[in-house]
Structure 1
């Protein structure tokens, strides 16, 4: 894939100039991880590759429903929504097989990110600042993301016409790891696998989960920076592919009370940047768990309450965190234990890692990975020790107060705002902006009356 070998702006410009396309597509992450972007004509696009371009900063000043925040400082009516500087990452170039240019050639797509002052709150730039810290400490970070998502025989119009009730799932009933279902619906499965290969976000495994129409896709391991890009791309373009097949996919944390929530698990490890060897693997220790991995796990555990809003960023995220639904409730860790928030996975020097199981599928991949990496690095810097390892069912055990996680988005936002670690790793501007946007989200929810409230109180109270 010629476009995935682009190393800098000059190579990207040569590729663009040789292309028969008249327009090119860019996308950047807003604060919620929603991809915002546009087409740019060839001459404008080449100019942008050389010196950047301007993009209305409202993309960081509105929520996922395009409502303007009234409580943030970065932008708003008080600033009159000026343009922000944006840079295109030439190394992110890839083909987008889902759409053709006017000459029939597959579209060329690039990831962009905010620059200048706006870089302080740009999710991709926040992550890259944490990665720079890891490099200073002598580490290269690797990661892989796993996403669960439900599929429906619906369209954006039909779900609205139904008021999001009585939706028809893609397949009925529970049938985890079904070979029958993947064979019957093989056209979509193979299309999704092919798209992922073509866009350099290869799926390592894909299968049905327990629940009607739910799938789980594990994206192959890569550098942490690339893993974040691939998660960002996968969440947008898998949904686009589904709609092209007359289906819909949702990554919301929990779409129905009777079914399990949808996770966005993170697998993460550190390598020594000078030797290329594993920082986590020590075969002389129990579970091959090095002292550095123990410190990293301790940091993940210690700071999980602080960064919970980055793992679980919506009101809906917290409906997933209830007993008995495979979602952890406390900042716990165990070895090969899927009831704990952190699962240490022993293995070889290539596979020794930790899985962060607290995150939901709705999380912005840039911010969820930034939260995990920063927490672990802080654990190494501070030489922390993890609490006692959990054996058995964590749901049936009691844990000390410091391991309790925020139970609401509002509470999580307050933890983030008060976190010295978060401010040190992400910057004050980001912490203030993101915490304020989560408070906004909670306020919007309070404006609404739920079906549960009506059924519980309308007649009786």
Structure 2
């Protein structure tokens, strides 16, 4: 949980920075990139020379609050709580996540937290909101483990168009042969940055790849996603390639998902946890609390899309029968359900059982996406939510509308405007995150919808392609 910056906390941060500077994590560090992710899901940065890290840790780096109101094309909208020229914030590095970037010699990276000039956490800071949600669960003896799948498409050259950097078949070994040096360097750079990659493989679309990382606490999982994407971009540039994490790279191909895996654990003793998604008498072995956590997420999915599928391009990807999870339903290993329950192999399910949210994509701010998922899961716990009957063996798009209605299966919003409307109507969002957050998200989402009003899918994909 982020602490307010009183005199004691500033002194602690200064001591931490002194230790880093005295024993740097790599030789010849020149600068540290401090990153935050804006409301539109774009990673923004300010950087400091390494020899200024102590001052940055203690007193922060000045930045405008206006970034909360940036659209993906860098235009700015104005709302009641964000978008004006006035005010200032302080950007402080999270030093326990500082790592050297092997693909960017001389550079290190650290996520940053935003504070007011008086030292209070900025109420729209995504990392702070996520930490607060995790803290509320921790107060109940609960912990979430989470991880993002990382899908990206690789293009030859640095032009605005997309030209697949590999031509082999979907999931084909040919693609690894075509890009073996590049993929080796991605893995080596991630390893050097402390990222535990568990698998990497070619994906379905032309030039598309995917890697998975080990699960971690929610803040660390979101930090890791930002770091992984930073490393992939840097390695791509060094190979003369360009990487796109956009939900729709080209209008005629499947897009990049940002699937979220999460499981709920009960802290029984220091160092001893029990996975509440397994070992119970609920559906497929869930405990009753695990089921309620999942039920809360399923109930609030329409509103959550405003954070997990936050771009106009997201709704070019979120279509039925494309494994994108276009219907609010759940099932065991059903890749067309928005909420897939993953058991894993027999004998390992006490560890591996988890939920996969399939309707989120690469445009999401990972901190906001996870914060909202935790809030929805916590609401399910508080209400004792119960899951409806699972949809295990069929694509929901193949059922007629009457059967879907009878089984409680709803289509998710099919446009950003619909998602924003659901977001604003859901009282959980405002109760969990406050008026400033809800109003700012809504004004930014409507700003993007207006930006692309009348645009063709091809124009939307082209304008979004290199932004995330």
- What's the CA shift for 1:200? 2.1
Q: Which position in structure 2 is the counterpart of 1:4?
A: none
Cα distance in 1 between the residues matched to 2:457 and 2:255: 19
Q: Residue 206 of structure 2 aligns to a residue in which SS? A: coil
8 Å CA contact 1:282–1:290 kept in 2: the answer is yes
Q: Does 1:280 align with 2:277?
A: yes
Aligned position for 2:4: none
TM-superposed deviation, 1:183 = 2.9
User: Mind listing any 5+ residue stretches in structure 1 that lack a counterpart?
Assistant: 1-6, 102-106, 454-461
The equivalences for 1:42-121 within 5 A come to 42-70=50-78, 72-77=79-84, 80-101=85-106, 107-116=107-116, 119-121=122-124
Helix, strand or coil for the counterpart of 2:81?
Answer: coil
2: CA distance between counterparts of 1:59 and 1:292?
Answer: 38
Matches within 5 A, 1:406-445: 406-445=413-452
SS at match of 1:235: helix
Matched, 1:255 2:255: no
1:323 maps to: 320
Offset at residue 334 of structure 1 (A): 0.4
Task: After superposition, give the CA deviation of every residue in 1:341-400 in whole Å (9 maximum; x if it has no partner).
Answer: 111122522111111111112211112212222211111111111122113222212423
**Partner SS state of residue 306, structure 1:** helix
Partner of 1:200: 194
Q: How many residues matched?
A: 430
Provide the secondary structure at the position in 1 that maps to 2:327: coil
What is the rounded CA distance, in whole Å, between the counterparts of 2:100 and 2:50 in structure 1? Answer: 16
Whether 1:126 and 2:129 are equivalent positions in the alignment is: yes
Does residue 40 (structure 1) correspond to residue 48 (structure 2)? The answer is: yes
Q: Is the 8 A contact 1:315 1:445 kept in 2?
A: yes
Give me the whole-angstrom Cα distance separating, in 2, the residues matched to 1:23 and 1:286. Answer: 51
| Segment drifting more, 85-94 vs 284-293 | 284-293
Cα displacement (A) at 1:17: 3.7
The CA RMSD measured in Å over matched residues stands at 2.2
Match of 2:452, SS state, is helix
Tell me which moved more, 120-129 or 390-399.
390-399
Q: Deviations over 1:52-107 (max 9, x none)?
A: 3321223223222221113x123334xx2432122221111111112233xxxxx2
Q: Distance in 1 between matches of 2:392 and 2:457?
A: 38
CA distance in 1, matches of 2:225, 2:30: 28
For residues 398-409 of structure 1, the aligned pairs below 5 Å read 398=401, 399-400=404-405, 403-409=410-416
Contact 2:316 2:457 in 1 (8 A): no
Gaps in structure 2 of 5+ consecutive residues: 1-11, 461-468
Distance between the aligned counterparts of 1:223 and 1:450, measured in 2? Answer: 37
Instruction: Give how far 1:321 is off.
Output: 1.5
Q: Bigger shift: 111-120 or 189-198?
A: 111-120
- Which stretch of structure 1 is more off in the superposition, 336-345 or 273-282? 273-282
Deviation at 1:142, TM superposition (A): 0.2
Q: 2:16 aligns with which of 11, 14, 20?
A: 11
Describe the SS at the equivalent of 1:277: strand
Do the aligned partners of residues 285 and 413 (structure 1) sit closer, same or farther apart at CA in structure 2, a change above 3 Å counting? closer
Displacement after TM superposition at 1:403 (Å): 2.6
TM-score for the superposition, normalised by structure 2 = 0.86
Deviation at 1:285, TM superposition (A): 4.8
Q: Secondary structure at the match of 1:120?
A: coil
Give secondary structure in 2 for the equivalent of 1:264. Answer: coil
1:221-260 correspondence runs (5 A): 221-260=215-254
Determine the C-alpha separation between the residues in 2 that align with 1:56 and 1:118.
14
Larger deviation: 81-90 or 328-337? 81-90
Q: Paired residue for 2:207?
A: 213
Alpha carbons 2:247, 2:255 under 8 Å: kept: yes
Contact 1:28 1:113 in 2 (8 A): yes
CA distance in structure 2 between the partners assigned to 1:447 and 1:259 by the alignment: 21
- The Cα shift of 1:206 comes to 0.5
- Superposed counterparts of 1:307-386, under 5 Å: 307-347=304-344, 348-386=349-387
